[in-house]
Structure 1
Amino acid sequence: MSRAERDFFRFRFSLSVAILRGSVYAMGGCRCDRTAESYDPKTNKWSWIAPMNTERSDGSAAALNDKMYVAGGCSVGDIQNSVEVYDPDTDLWTFVAPMHSGRWPFSCVEFHGCLYALGGHNLTSSKLSTEKYVPAEDTWTKIPYMNFYAYKLNAEVIDDMIFVITGYYDRTKFVPQVACFDDKENRWHQVADLNVCRYGISTCVIENLPKASDYAYKHRDKLIVEKRKRTLDLENQ
């Protein structure tokens, strides 16, 4: 096999990425099977770490309790519900309790010491429950459904809430959708939609912005009025 052929089979897409201890971890994905690696920005180098126990494409990862969790994804045509955790001190992957539902492509996020699995679909359903993992008990618990069903979504934590951002297809058109979860109320709230529908979205949190809650459901009517006014102003120019 030529070097070009080897490089082709080593590239990864539909992978899982997360940050742990200031390093970027890239895991699984098509073409790279179980492999995993980490990037140290101080040395500007990528290093191989121990491979995962399971091949995962379109899984999702998040750091929790100073360890790396990777969940779900597709493996040789099977949709995984398995979850494994990486300990950087021992360079070992260990299975923990599986999710209630196999799912891909979805989003995991750490929130208040728990791991949340959001969205996705499997071979039988796209209406998957939202669930969270409690590491101290090694158990997954179902929580209220989101206000919509979607995959290829992304989740972030800001203003002490989980925000889910996605675009999904409702059989007639693609629809932008944003929602947030308040664990104190144990419910989802609708949030102002994106201006443009984005599919297979990627997101990040930027600190020191105005409170994200300003854009939540309780201000939605005001935001819609302001948006319509801006549109009319542009049309009248």
Structure 2
Amino acid sequence: MKRLLIFFTILLAFFSTETQIFAEQTSWTSETNLTKKIDRVSLVTVNGKIYSLGGHDANKFYDTIDVYDPETKTWTQKGKLPTVRGTVSAAVYDGKIYITGGEPINRRLDIYDTVTNEWKQGTPFPKDLAGYAAQFVNGKLLVIGGFNMYNNASADVYEYDPSTDTWTAKASLSTPRRYTTSALVDGKVYVIGGANDSKGLLSSIEEYDPQTNKWTTKSPMSTPRHGLTAAVLNNEIYVIGGNTAATKVSGPATDEVEKYNPKTDTWSTVPSMPTARGLLSAVSLNNAIYVAGGSNSSNYYSVFEKYTPGDNGTSPSQPGDPGTSQPDNPVGDRAILVVTMTTGMEKEFDLSIKEVNDFISWYEGKQAGTGSASYAINKHDNNKGPFSSRKDYMLYDRILTFEVSEYSR
């Protein structure tokens, strides 16, 4: 009997440990709170830091810019917006933050240089706008949907070219939507959820191909909502929170999280957020997703929560796995990656397909304005001398082109 008791004690300890390990691997954790309780804030990442822009509480909109350092877990105030602002979808390109319109309703285009801490104005958006989605694609800013009156969802899509400071109308959404969200994967933009004047809350998703200037309807998420947010990890889109009542902008809200795989056009569930909220914002950084602020009915939040998937944002390293950034029709389990620098120098690496795909994911993310400025490539068998490892740090703005040649061992 004593031996049996010891066995069950060990078994219980084993399962407790296993449960704890799983919770640590796939979990939501609390980071340092925002400096105030707000919703309608916008998050972006620049050079490994998270910028929180503007926001709104029960009484007013804000003009603050706060910067979060994930290493020190501290917020620092950095300047102010030119005007109080909320309900925007800020976007980053070449180290600059672009903010269009927003609440209070306006059509301004403000451009913030994060290095000089200076603002300048671009050509205003063609009309007043807020509650839209925005993404940089191939060096141009897409502004999608939104509203200019609270019961007037838009299907309009405009493209801004920073090099010419001009706006151009593009193909419209098939469904007008406001308080929507978007994500960029493999050069295509996905616009998700929102609200529509005749259809109410939306669960639909539309894919935009900038090469053809066409929208395609994809498989909908399970729960219609607006005031939601999205972030990308490993070329999969995590759709987070949102409001679940069509007639109430700020609540009630959900803690639900769904994940969309563009390659397979399928959805799967993800552990819910600790705090149910809508009109929130999220970004991905260092294989994790950070979610800030939001509201639920009359409650406003300063919570700043981090989601870390069990595989740290990567799927199994098998060729052709739909969750990874695989090249079309992979033909091997390894590849020679040749990177040509702007100086004309070529650097060659013998890598696994997974390592190549991770590099491509970083490059495409940086092209879209997210992620770190450098990427470390393990030199593996090219190590020389008495070193345990050697890494080559590639700088995004020093890369001219790269070539991938796949093979099997």
| TM-score, normalised via structure 2 length | 0.48
Alignment-derived partner of residue 109 in structure 1? 183
C-alpha distance in 2, partners of 1:150/1:208? 26
Contact 1:17–1:24, Cα closer than 8 Å, also in 2: yes
2:136 equivalent to 1:63:
yes
2:261 equivalent to 1:182:
yes
Q: Give the secondary structure class of the aligned counterpart of 1:86.
A: strand
Q: For residues 85-123 of structure 1, what are the alpha-carbon distances to aligned partners after superposition, in whole Å with 9 as ceiling and x for unaligned?
A: 110100001010000111110112211111111110111
Alignment-derived partner of residue 275 in structure 2? 196
C-alpha distance in 1, partners of 2:252/2:144? 30
Q: CA deviation at 1:32?
A: 5.0
Q: CA deviation at 1:33?
A: 1.7
Counterpart amino acid of 1:65?
Answer: N
Alignment-derived partner of residue 120 in structure 1? 194
Q: CA deviation at 1:16?
A: 2.6
Pick from 202, 211, 215 the counterpart of residue 140 of structure 1: 215
Contact 1:121–1:128, Cα closer than 8 Å, also in 2: no
Q: For residues 49-79 of structure 1, what are the alpha-carbon distances to aligned partners after superposition, in whole Å with 9 as ceiling and x for unaligned?
A: 1111122111111111111110111124521
Q: CA deviation at 1:155?
A: 0.8
Q: Which runs of 5+ in 1 are unaligned?
A: 1-6, 217-237
The percentage of aligned residue pairs carrying the same residue is 28
C-alpha distance in 1, partners of 2:91/2:145? 15
Q: Which runs of 5+ in 2 are unaligned?
A: 1-62, 64-81, 289-306, 314-409
Alignment-derived partner of residue 53 in structure 1? 126
C-alpha distance in 2, partners of 1:95/1:183? 26
CA RMSD of aligned residues (A): 2.5
Distance 1:20 1:31, change over 3 A: same
Contact 1:34–1:54, Cα closer than 8 Å, also in 2: yes
2:285 equivalent to 1:206:
yes
Report 1 or 2 for greater relative contact order, CA contacts < 8 Å, sequence distance ≥ 6.
Answer: 2
Alignment-derived partner of residue 225 in structure 2? 150
Contact 2:224–2:244, Cα closer than 8 Å, also in 1: no
Contact 1:147–1:190, Cα closer than 8 Å, also in 2: no
C-alpha distance in 1, partners of 2:132/2:209? 19
More off after superposition, 14-23 vs 91-100: 14-23
C-alpha distance in 1, partners of 2:225/2:218? 16
Contact 1:116–1:132, Cα closer than 8 Å, also in 2: yes
Distance 1:113 1:10, change over 3 A: same
Q: For residues 168-205 of structure 1, what are the alpha-carbon distances to aligned partners after superposition, in whole Å with 9 as ceiling and x for unaligned?
A: 33799643110111122210111111112122111111
Contact 2:109–2:125, Cα closer than 8 Å, also in 1: yes
2:168 equivalent to 1:94:
yes
| TM-score, normalised via structure 1 length | 0.80
Distance 1:32 1:75, change over 3 A: closer
Contact 1:156–1:162, Cα closer than 8 Å, also in 2: yes
Alignment-derived partner of residue 18 in structure 1? 91
Contact 1:104–1:121, Cα closer than 8 Å, also in 2: yes
2:89 equivalent to 1:35:
no
Counterpart amino acid of 1:86?
Answer: Y
Distance 1:189 1:41, change over 3 A: same
Distance 1:213 1:184, change over 3 A: farther
